[in-house]
Structure 1
Amino acid sequence: MSRNINAITNEFNRYFYKWKITLPEENIQKRQKGSIFQAGWKINFIFGIKDDAEYLEYYAIHKMTNDRHIIIYENEQKEHLECLEPPLKYSPAIDERQREHNKHNRRVRE
């Protein structure tokens, strides 16, 4: 495993340490996308290269907190990307807000 990927996986594993979640070794070795379902989390991840530098992008969902959409670069810098907004609770003004909510989520999914 390259030194660069170690920095990426260490950062990911450090973030999810308290839930005992780590990236699967086989996925790391093959730079293969995957999913983790553990401790209430659903985490989808993919490896990539940008400007000759490796990165890991993941989208993490847990029903007890907000989603996370993060890229970890080999220099350990992180980029926080947009996430889906949680469902709205009903209110009389929901029609316009619902349209904006749906528009935002469609854009993020794309």
Structure 2
Amino acid sequence: MDAITNEFNKYFAKWKITLPEENIQKRQKGSIFQAGWKINFIFGIKDDAKYLEYYAIHRMTNDRHIIIYKNVEKEHLECLESPLVYSPAINERQREHNKQNRRVKEGLSYKSLV
């Protein structure tokens, strides 16, 4: 897990955020609340390759949903979109936006990332 951990820690170094050592050793899911970030993470194995998947939220920027594989390759996944403000007469674009957010949230909830 060293390469994965290093890549995560490098990305969040600016905020002095690192993965908790206990979670790394036990490959246990967890959450980090620091420097305005809320980061939920899980460990997994896909095609015999270990990975770390995380969903990071900060009110000053867009969400991030990323998988880091053992070879340090990253996969950027879908995130929740900002809520839309709309009039009572909701249009098709707004319906699709809300439908997309529900779908993404269900997937994130299933993995305990939100």
The two structures share one fold, judged by TM-score above 0.5: yes
Q: How many aligned positions are there?
A: 106
After superposing the two structures, state which structure 1 stretch, 89-98 or 42-51, moved more: 89-98
Deviations 1:59-99 (A, max 9, x none): 00000000000000000000000000011244798533321
Match of 1:39 in 2: 35
Task: List gaps (5 residues or longer) in structure 2.
Answer: 107-114
Task: List gaps (5 residues or longer) in structure 1.
Answer: none
Cα distance change of structure 1 residues 94 and 18 upon mapping to structure 2, 3 Å threshold: farther
- What is the alpha-carbon root mean square deviation over aligned residues? 1.5
Match of 1:25 in 2: 21
The secondary structure found in structure 1 opposite 2:100 is helix
The 5 A counterparts of 1:1-110 are: 5-90=1-86, 95-110=91-106
State TM-score, norm by structure 1: 0.90
| Distance in 2 separating the partners of 1:68 and 1:91 | 29
State TM-score, norm by structure 2: 0.87
| Distance in 1 separating the partners of 2:14 and 2:52 | 20
